[in-house]
């Protein structure tokens, strides 16, 4: 079995693949001060709950945007399973989506994995919208070449920033308000956050498609995809497993 690890700024997603099928998936809060011992305890608790042992895992791959945790997770995999962890980067994996490394020198590992997965699962051209701490948009053209991306503040990041600057605003659930105009502060915030984010994504995707000169499939992923994507007119599918699917594909391409 393969352990795929996607370390994001807010959440760390773990997936167990058996014969290319995702059999287990967990989301953990990302804590940058966690030691390798603490991470190992958390991982083993999850494995034990599914009646898995160290011997069941024979490979590991990770994408990380939190450098402080990358090495700790590598230590966890070596100590627990005796395997070297394949660490995703533009340098090691960019050729899978024809990334020009001289142009894209700082592309995040999660963005590489999203682009790889979208290309191989959905074909080209394709656009990925990843709703996380930031809202990332990745673009693969009809020739299967990575053309670039867009990064905008994520919904929850924007919400937290707003609360710190507006004393009278209070936390709200990121839910469909069901109305176009709010009758109270909570509804008004939900409209701005949920519908506003969907409208922003639609506008950015339209700009990209105008730039390319053709329509594309648009795939949504990330922890908030199911909250925002249903209100978008451009997003064609939601795939919460997309980043892990990219890690799986990269692992096969680099180890076989």
Residues with catalytic roles: 110
Q: Which two tokens stand for residue 92?
A: 């090691």
Specify the pairing of strand 59-64 against strand 86-87: parallel
d(CA 130, CA 110): 9
Burial class (CB in 10 A: 0-12, 13-18, 19+), 120: buried
Alpha-carbon Rg for the chain, nearest whole angstrom, is 19
Q: Under a CB-based contact definition with an 8 Å cutoff, are residues 91 and 101 in contact?
A: yes
Of 234, 239, 245, the closest CA to residue 220 belongs to: 239
d(CA 64, CA 52): 24
Look up tokens 């000169």; give the residue. Answer: 213
């Amino acid at each position: 079995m393969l352990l795929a690890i996607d370390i994001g700024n807010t959440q760390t997603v773990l997936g167990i693949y058996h014969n290319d099928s995702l059999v287990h998936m967990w989301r953990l809060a990302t804590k940058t001060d966690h030691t390798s011992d603490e991470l190992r305890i958390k991982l083993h608790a999850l494995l034990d709950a599914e009646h898995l042992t160290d011997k069941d895992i024979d490979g590991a791959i990770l994408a990380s945007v939190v450098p402080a945790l990358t090495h700790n997770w590598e230590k966890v995999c070596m100590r627990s399973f005796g395997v070297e962890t394949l660490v995703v980067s533009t340098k090691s994996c960019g050729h899978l989506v024809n990334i020009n490394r001289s142009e894209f020198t700082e592309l995040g590992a999660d963005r590489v994995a999203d682009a790889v997965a979208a290309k191989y699962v959905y074909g080209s051209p394709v656009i990925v919208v990843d709703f996380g701490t930031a809202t990332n948009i990745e673009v693969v053209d009809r020739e299967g070449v990575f053309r670039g991306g867009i990064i905008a503040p994520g919904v929850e990041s924007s919400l937290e920033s707003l609360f710190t600057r507006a004393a009278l605003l209070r936390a709200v659930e990121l839910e469909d308000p069901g109305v176009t105009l709010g009758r109270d502060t909570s509804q008004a915030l939900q409209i701005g956050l949920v519908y506003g984010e969907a409208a922003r994504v639609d506008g950015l995707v339209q700009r990209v498609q105008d730039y390319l000169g053709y329509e594309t499939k648009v795939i949504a992923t990330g922890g908030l995809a199911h909250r925002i994507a249903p209100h978008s007119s451009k997003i064609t599918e939601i795939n919460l497993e997309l980043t892990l699917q990219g890690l799986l594909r990269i692992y096969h391409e680099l180890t076989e």
